[in-house]
Amino acid sequence: MEKDAFIMQLRQMIEIKEKIGEMLLSVDCCPNNSLLESLFHGIGLDAKKHSEMFKGLMDRAQGINQAVEEERKTAIIETLSKVLELEWNMKTQVRNIIDKVTDEKTKKVMTTILGDIQRHEVTLGDLKEFVDSMTVEEEKVLDKIWKYSIKFDDDDEEA
């Protein structure tokens, strides 16, 4: 795959995800049903998140991303630790509700939320370890490794 084609594909995916986000966040299908509205909006926010992640990947592919400065690491790690504590608390409460509630629709929604919380915990834990273990120099090395870990057809032409 050519690097330009890869970046163009990311741009197309960003455009699609932004459109999905706009559509679902502006939906006014059921103003008298906050649960349905929140489910639509939740998926719309996920689409926006995916769009931002694609933008981050595109920036990384183009060498735009920069390393985290040492002085910011401590604050980031502290924030991630606090968020992990809060997510653990939420996971405990949601599990308790799932075990006690009898309405199946409520259980499905709560199970979806529990899955999100569990994925967040894994991602947050990985982010915390990554930020904690990385120095600016290591990030620069990893960026170089990443840059060359994806083989683009046009890389041969540049060599």
pLDDT per residue as tens, the chain (159 positions) = 777 888 999 999 999 999 999 999 988 878 889 999 999 999 999 999 999 999 988 987 887 877 778 888 899 999 999 999 999 999 999 999 999 999 999 999 999 999 999 999 999 999 998 888 776 666 666 666 656 566 666 655 554
Q: Which amino acid, 96? A: N
Would you say how long the chain is, in residues?
Answer: 159
What's the per-residue H, E or C state across 82-142? HHHHHHHHHHHHHHHHHHHCCCHHHHHHHHHHHHHHHHHHHHHHHHHHHHHHCCHHHHHHH
CA distance 34 to 27: 12
Residue 51 tokens read as 């769009």
| Predicted TM-score (pTM) of this structure | 0.76
CA distance 86 to 94: 12
Query: 29: helix, coil or strand?
Result: coil
CA distance 77 to 103: 39
- Look at residue 68 in the predicted model and tell me its pLDDT: 79
CA distance 57 to 41: 24
CA distance 125 to 43: 23
Burial class (CB in 10 A: 0-12, 13-18, 19+), 138: exposed
- Look at residue 62 in the predicted model and tell me its pLDDT: 83
Helix (H) or strand (E) holding 5: helix 3-25
